[in-house]
């Protein structure tokens, strides 16, 4: 029997590394593609290189990480060609006899609004052209495989800010106009006539192309529009990964800047495992060109002020002498195009994939894991 095989781009990042782990546990051989461009975007503190080495150590021959830039079509083609070829190449003598490449999970990206505006061409080339390269190679070499793309809720631009938003004590809330019922965002929200940010627009280009390869070519492509994706393996940076960066600041006692909205902006947070489990359920029964919102939903939503409280509480439970951290400044200006409030509606995915168990990792549990992860990185003397 051939070895089930997947290509995972961004394999050292938060979602990519969780995908590698998940698929290897399912018996897959995983070819990872990551050039540690995260350290170019956000500095060496945000590098994902160490995650690659620890996975290599843990998974041995089942994980084959390659340092390739997804903008480099020729190098990517060597991988697709190699895994499906009858001729001798870097994957062995007759890879096509050995490997059954049936899943491409594309998570590599430039993921930040603010960074994108610094270098729009780089942002577009990574997010849009990189995705195009992978789609086209999938069509040419393994058109029957699943192609999973991690898009973003920023494809809706600032349209969610035009909902009926009310201010509560610690958070904003979007409610229906008449009955004031709390809302969630589903996939019918328009992605047109809105301010996306440069990042949001490059992701729209990729998102629409992934859908088109499903609709036009009939391929098993799927778009997951993420809310906040979190988990212990997130290398938080000020410009990306709010919860991871906030926790890093609190645990290491650093200053944190809140960009506008009084710290009451709301995000829904999905643990990387729950998201990758969505990918897996899609792969069992793929629907061409599907689009799903994928966040933590209402139960896993938090404002920044509430998140600070939760982290302080968890640290106090661990160490009753913990002095609550409050070293933050709430700036007047919000990030351009940033959401005031966003909570994903997961109904469409639940209806299409009733076997998916739903969100299994609570926000509290996720924060606990992230706190432990940050503590584990502290120098030994500061933990003692
Ligand atoms: N984390 C979030 O809150 C969030 C929210 C919505 C959507 N998303 C999307 O989910 C996906 C995964 O996000 P993440 O948080 O895991 O990001 P991440 O930054 O942790 O991981 C992305 C990985 O891709 C690699 N990479 C970047 N450019 C590359 C290139 N040109 N070639 C090869 N590798 C490259 C990086 O080095 C990094 O290891 C991205 O598409 C992102 O836009 C993330």
**Tens digit of pLDDT for each residue in 22-36?**
999 999 999 999 999
**Tens digit of pLDDT for each residue in 68-109?**
999 999 999 999 999 999 988 889 888 888 999 999 999 999
Output phi, psi for 243, to 5 deg.
-70, -45
List the 301-303 sheet strands across, edge first.
228-230, 266-271, 301-303
Pocket test for ligand 1, best of 13, 65, 242 (most atoms within 8 A of CB): 13
| Helical ranges in the chain per DSSP H | 14-25, 37-42, 49-59, 73-84, 95-98, 113-118, 120-124, 130-141, 197-215, 242-251, 272-284, 304-318, 347-352, 363-376, 380-383
Question: What does DSSP assign to residue 189?
Answer: S
Ligand 1 atom with the shortest distance to the CA of 242: 3
Pocket test for ligand 1, best of 14, 105, 127 (most atoms within 8 A of CB): 14
How large is the average pLDDT for residues 298-305? 97
CA 51 / ligand 1 centre spacing (Å): 13
- Ligand 1 pocket by Cβ (under 6 Å): 10, 12-16, 33-38, 48, 69-71, 107-109, 111, 126, 130, 150, 152, 226, 228-229, 241
As a whole number of angstroms, the distance between CA 102 and CA 359 comes to: 26
What percentage of the chain carries pLDDT values higher than 70? Answer: 99
Predicted confidence band of residue 343 (pLDDT cuts 50, 70, 90): very high
pLDDT of res. 384: 43
Indicate if the pLDDT at residue 222 is higher than 80.
Answer: yes
pTM, entire model: 0.96
Nearest CA to ligand 1 atom 11: 107
CA 234 / ligand 1 centre spacing (Å): 10
């Amino acid at each position: 029997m051939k070895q089930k095989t997947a290509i995972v781009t961004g394999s050292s990042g938060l979602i990519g590394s969780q995908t590698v782990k998940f698929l290897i546990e399912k018996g897959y051989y995983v070819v990872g593609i990551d050039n540690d461009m995260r350290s170019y975007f956000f500095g060496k503190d945000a590098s994902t290189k160490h995650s690659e080495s620890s996975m290599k150590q843990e998974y041995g021959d089942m994980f084959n990480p390659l340092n390739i830039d997804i903008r480099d079509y020729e190098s990517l083609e060597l991988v697709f060609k190699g895994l499906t070829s009858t001729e001798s190449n870097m994957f062995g003598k007759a890879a096509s006899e050995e490997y059954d490449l049936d899943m491409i999970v594309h998570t590599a990206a430039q993921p930040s609004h603010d960074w994108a505006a610094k270098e729009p061409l780089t942002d577009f080339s990574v997010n849009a052209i990189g995705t195009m390269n992978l789609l086209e190679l999938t069509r040419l070499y393994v058109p029957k495989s699943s192609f999973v793309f991690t898009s973003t809720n920023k494809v809706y631009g600032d349209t969610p800010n035009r909902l009926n938003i009310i201010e509560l004590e610690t958070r904003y809330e979007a409610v229906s106009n008449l009955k004031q019922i709390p809302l969630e965002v589903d996939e019918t929200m328009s992605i047109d006539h809105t301010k996306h940010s440069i990042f949001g627009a490059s992701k729209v280009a990729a998102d629409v192309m992934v859908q088109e390869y499903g609709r036009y070519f009939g391929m098993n492509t799927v778009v997951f529009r993420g809310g906040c994706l979190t988990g212990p393996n997130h290398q938080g940076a000020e410009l990306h990964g709010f919860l991871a960066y906030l926790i890093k600041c609190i645990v290491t006692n650093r200053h944190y800047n809140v960009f506008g909205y009084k710290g009451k902006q709301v995000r829904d947070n999905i643990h990387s495992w729950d998201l990758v489990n969505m990918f897996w359920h899609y792969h069992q029964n793929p629907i061409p060109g599907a689009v799903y919102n994928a966040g933590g939903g209402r139960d896993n939503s938090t404002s920044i002020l509430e998140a600070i409280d939760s982290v302080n509480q968890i640290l106090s439970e661990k160490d009753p002498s913990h002095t609550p951290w409050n070293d933050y400044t709430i700036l007047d200006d919000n990030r351009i195009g940033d959401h005031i409030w966003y909570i994903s509606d997961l109904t469409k995915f639940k209806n299409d994939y009733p076997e998916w168990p739903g969100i299994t990792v609570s926000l509290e549990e996720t924060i606990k894991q992230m706190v432990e992860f940050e503590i584990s990185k502290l120098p030994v003397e500061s933990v003692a």
